[in-house]
Structure 1
Amino acid sequence: MITFDDVSVTYTGAGRPTLRDVRLHLPEGELCLVTGRTGVGKSTLLGAVNGLVPHFTGGHLSGEVTVAGVSTRQAPPQELAHLVGVVGQDPLAGFVTDTVEEELAYGMEQLGTPPDVMRKRVEETLDLLGIAPLRHRALRTLSGGQQQRVAIGSVLTRHPRVLVLDEPTSALDPTAAEEVLAAITRLVHDLGTTVLIAEHRLERVLQHADRVVHLPGDGRVAVGTPAAAVRDADVAPPVVRLGRLAGWDPLPLSVRDARRLAGPLRERLAGRAPEAVAPPGTGGADNARETVLAARDVVVGYGSVRAVRGVSLDLAAGEVVALMGRNGSGKSSLLWALQGSGPRRSGRVDVAGTDPGRVPARKARGLVGLVPQTASDLLYLESVDAECAQADQESGAAPGTARALLDDLAPGIPGARHPRDLSEGQRLALVLAVQLAAAPRAVLLDEPTRGLDLPAKERFTALVRRLAGEGRAVVVATHDVEFAARTADRVVITAEGEIVADGPAAEVIVASPAFAPQVAKVLAPQAWLTVEQVAGALAPAGRPVAVERAGA
């Protein structure tokens, strides 16, 4: 179905090819997982399948890419639209209509699909992705996860023979991600659709894959079965790393496989207690005394929709809180209301005796800092240094404050570089530096790990713990259960705009089938969250713990 014949891609000004001498054949009806760290060329590989590379991206492509016998060199992307459906990392950037139903139909209209067929496919897709209640909603009013499902649906209605997905589950809650992946798997098994998925959250996708294409970073690709690919991989999901620690052979690819092998390990761990996520002196319960932010009876509404329903919440100094819940449960609306910029129908928020929603924006920034889901929304100048200088001016900070924070968070970013040319992790660091320049006591982060590979996530975990160690209250709205397990002291779960669970991370997420990390599911009913905790318990007394890191 898809063939790369000695393909190399070199962008203008690049010192070396992004892809080099790639030979790859993907047959019909397979789900192929594309892995590799940020910046190694995964998006370039995906873009070459429908001709976006090099027709729209520029650069030079040598060799030949064919899809169902059609050369992407001769056929531009618009002529491949009936064959290849593509969903990018940013769903909102690809929308061209106003409502969900219109967006699902738009692609079929461009292909001249008969109206009766269009109607049938729209209904099928609404049910398949669980978005029927959203059919008349305006796209701009949807949550990030809801937008992502609509973006996938707008491609599925065209019934392409090849489906290319760039981080399709990054904005989805665990249950929605499972539903979307189940739908994609049905397309592969029942309709023979060939699917390519690039995804950093391997724990979600690996068990569904027929084949893994790994980009190690030198421009080449390595192809193999999932079992072979993870055996010595530098990046692996928790069940695989737990299997390596326990010496299981073959290594498990799913929670179900791991549980079948975990009996002896649970016996070894019986009677032992896991260490706390936060090491002493880095924040957490020991330092969580002063209340930094207090919210009472907060209500947020949009027209007839009540997104937040009378929420009360206290945030303490030195505490990392993971805010979790289904897509559309009100997490982002709550964060914006706490920060002061978002609409609030009633209720109050108190930070150091001041309501951030009742003071000018400059003063509010010194109370609460917020990094939105799409961090680049806060970047509008032409260079990194310009953004830092503007942040100092708007925050009333000394010149060089934001730049010093950025150098501390992500050293080595050139000041003349355009913010849009930064990696996801670098953009996140820049926006966080911009927010921290005002020295807020409360820091709110909305889905900050989207687009981050595992090593970058490791570094970000350390950063969040450091912010807590400085006495700040940190809230992370996230669907990334593995990140929450490694980072949070406390977990708050929302549903339909209300808080339905609030307590220590180990208690709340272990008790939740949807939000439990892989290690917790494998070793349940014991309350282990991470591979590092298990390694620490198994290490002989007085001997340092030897365990591979998530991004090692």
Structure 2
Amino acid sequence: MIRFDDVSVQFEGAAGPALRDVRLTVPEGELCLLIGASGTGKSTLLSTVSGLVPHFTGGTLRGRVTVAGRDTRTHKPRELADVVGTVGQDPLAHFVTDTVEDELAYGMESLGLSPAVMRRRVEETLDLLGLAALRDRPLASLSGGQRQRVAIGSVLTPHPEVLVLDEPTSALDPAAAEEVLAVLQRLVHDLGTTVLMAEHRLERVVHYADRLILLPGPGEPPLVGTPAEILAVSPVAPPVVALGRLAGWSPLPLSVRDARRRAGALREAVAGAAPAPGASPSPGAAADAGAAAASGEPPAGIFRLSVRRGRAEVLRRIDLTLRPGAVVALMGRNGAGKSTLLNTLTGLHRPASGTVLAGGAVPHRTPPRELIRAVGLVPQEPRDLLYADTVAAECAAADGDADAAPGTCRALVTALLPDVPDTTHPRDLSEGQRLALALAVVLTARPPLVLLDEPTRGLDYAAKARLVEILRGLAADGHAILLATHDVELVAELAERVVILAEGEIVADGPAADVVTASPAFAPQVAKILAPLPWLTVSEVARALAAEGPGGSDAGGLR
């Protein structure tokens, strides 16, 4: 169905090719998962299938890409629209209408389908993706995850032969992600649709894939094989595979069910230990906490908060206080009010009732120039913070706005994503790279309260690990961190406390280990595998096994 013959892509000004001599075939009716670290060329490869490279993004394409027999060099994206449905990393860039129902119908209108067929397919897609309650909603009023489902739905309604998806579950809550992936699997198995998908959250998708395509590095040839074959050598792997490597299991498990069947010896090996507590705040953070308690001004204080948008009450009776050094995860299904709460803390929404304090300031009454020293937000769409022509210019502007020493922002960018050139335009960065740059811009002012909305969208496991270390360092220095996320593995690794929102209200608030393991939807893979033991992450298990010493539990006993 999709064939690459000696395909290379070179963009003007780039040090090397984004893709080099790619030869592979994606058979009809398979779900192929494209994996690799950030910057290895995954989005570029997907764009060659839809014809965006070279017709839209530019660059030089050598070799030949054919989809259902059509050469993408000689067929522009509009000439492939009846065969290929594409959803990129940014749903907003995908939309052309104003409401959910109109967006679902637009692609079929462009292909000239009859009104009766269009009506039936719209209704089917609304039900498939759980969008029926949103059919009349303006797209601008949707949450990030809701927009992503609409974008996926809009390419499903024309019934293309090939679906090309770039990070399709990145903004979805766990339940919504399972629904979308189940729909894709049904299309593959029942209708013979070919799906080519890039995704960093492998724990969600790898067990759905028929084959994996690994891009080892920029310009390196891909490795193609079954999930078990590729994950045995892949530098990126989900927690279930990382735990299998730690325990010495062969073949490696790909699902929680497979791992649980083999985890008896591992459970015995760690049964007598307890997970090490999280890093304690530094003495400076403890002093900051004492000072904040004495002054009565924690980094964030929310008391009986209600927020209305139009006639709808989107937040109701919210009480939440963050102490210095706290790392709190805000979770809940798409549309629960997480982003609205973060935006209220930055003054973008005025409370209908109640009190909001951020760094001692009342956000909606504080000038932005002053507010950035009290609270910083990295939004779901990082491009909203980026306006300069180069990475270097963005960093220089951030240093100036925060009165920070020159090079402060650039050092943060380097720590998150090494090897991003100063001369790169922010629009030429991947979604994960743009997010890292926006995070660095916000952290340059070192506000006492740091807010992050879906901070791991587009980040691979290595970049996520670097983000975790940076946020831990900020917490140790006394910064309070509130992050809205659907990434349960990030929460297990980083958060000490979890707050769950539903329909604008807090329905759970407690220690992370207690809250995430209380619900299968929010439990990380390690917790599911080793339940009922209280382990959340591979790193916790590794430390416990290391503490046992050479005479404790050898790897052979865990196989």
2:204 matches 1:204: yes
- 1:164-220: per-residue Cα shift (whole Å, max 9, x none)? 000000000011000000000000000000000100011111000001011111331
Aligned amino acid, residue 488 of structure 2 = V
Q: Is the 2:305–2:319 Cα contact (8 Å) retained in structure 1?
A: yes
Aligned amino acid, residue 133 of structure 2 = P
- 1:150-171: per-residue Cα shift (whole Å, max 9, x none)? 0000000000000000000000
- Which has the larger displacement, 378-387 or 510-519? 378-387
Aligned pairs for 1:76-475 within 5 A: 76-217=76-217, 218-278=219-279, 281=282, 290=292, 291-395=298-402, 402-403=409-410, 406=413, 413-475=420-482
CA distance in 2, matches of 1:287, 1:203: 38
Q: What TM-score results when the alignment is normalised by the length of structure 1?
A: 0.94
CA distance in 2, matches of 1:271, 1:253: 27
Measure how far apart 1:44 and its partner are: 1.4
CA distance in 1, matches of 2:553, 2:216: 24
Measure how far apart 1:115 and its partner are: 0.3
Distance 1:243 1:285, change over 3 A: farther
Distance 1:11 1:397, change over 3 A: closer
Q: Is the 1:21–1:220 Cα contact (8 Å) retained in structure 2?
A: yes
2:54 matches 1:54: yes
Distance 1:543 1:209, change over 3 A: same
- 1:51-90: per-residue Cα shift (whole Å, max 9, x none)? 2111222222222211112222222211111001000000
Q: CA RMSD in A?
A: 2.5
Residue ranges of structure 1 left out of the alignment (5+ in a row) = 548-552
Q: Is the 1:535–1:545 Cα contact (8 Å) retained in structure 2?
A: no
- Which has the larger displacement, 308-317 or 270-279? 270-279
Matched residue SS, 1:177: helix
Q: Is the 1:284–1:489 Cα contact (8 Å) retained in structure 2?
A: no
- 1:263-304: per-residue Cα shift (whole Å, max 9, x none)? 222222223211124367499999866432111011122112
Q: Is the 2:360–2:374 Cα contact (8 Å) retained in structure 1?
A: no
Matched residue SS, 1:539: helix
1:489 to 483, 496, 501: 496
Aligned amino acid, residue 171 of structure 1 = A
Matched residue SS, 2:320: strand
CA distance in 1, matches of 2:216, 2:82: 32
Measure how far apart 1:369 and its partner are: 0.9
- 1:106-165: per-residue Cα shift (whole Å, max 9, x none)? 000000000000000000000000110000000000000000000000000000000000
CA distance in 2, matches of 1:544, 1:484: 33
Q: Is the 2:282–2:477 Cα contact (8 Å) retained in structure 1?
A: no
Measure how far apart 1:351 and its partner are: 3.7
Distance 1:130 1:140, change over 3 A: same
Distance 1:284 1:181, change over 3 A: farther
CA distance in 2, matches of 1:73, 1:399: 45
CA distance in 2, matches of 1:417, 1:321: 33
Distance 1:58 1:265, change over 3 A: same
Residue ranges of structure 2 left out of the alignment (5+ in a row) = 293-297, 555-559
Per the alignment, residue 8 of structure 1 pairs with 8
Matched residue SS, 1:85: strand
Distance 1:410 1:545, change over 3 A: farther
Measure how far apart 1:234 and its partner are: 1.1
CA distance in 2, matches of 1:546, 1:40: 38
Aligned pairs for 1:69-80 within 5 A: 69-80=69-80
Q: What TM-score results when the alignment is normalised by the length of structure 2?
A: 0.93
Measure how far apart 1:403 and its partner are: 4.9
Aligned amino acid, residue 7 of structure 1 = V
Distance 1:402 1:234, change over 3 A: closer
Matched residue SS, 1:499: strand
CA distance in 2, matches of 1:285, 1:258: 40
Measure how far apart 1:416 and its partner are: 4.2
Per the alignment, residue 557 of structure 2 pairs with none
Aligned amino acid, residue 260 of structure 1 = R
Matched residue SS, 1:527: coil
Distance 1:232 1:406, change over 3 A: closer
Q: Is the 2:32–2:197 Cα contact (8 Å) retained in structure 1?
A: yes
Matched residue SS, 2:299: strand
Measure how far apart 1:352 and its partner are: 4.9
Aligned amino acid, residue 81 of structure 1 = A
CA distance in 2, matches of 1:9, 1:182: 33
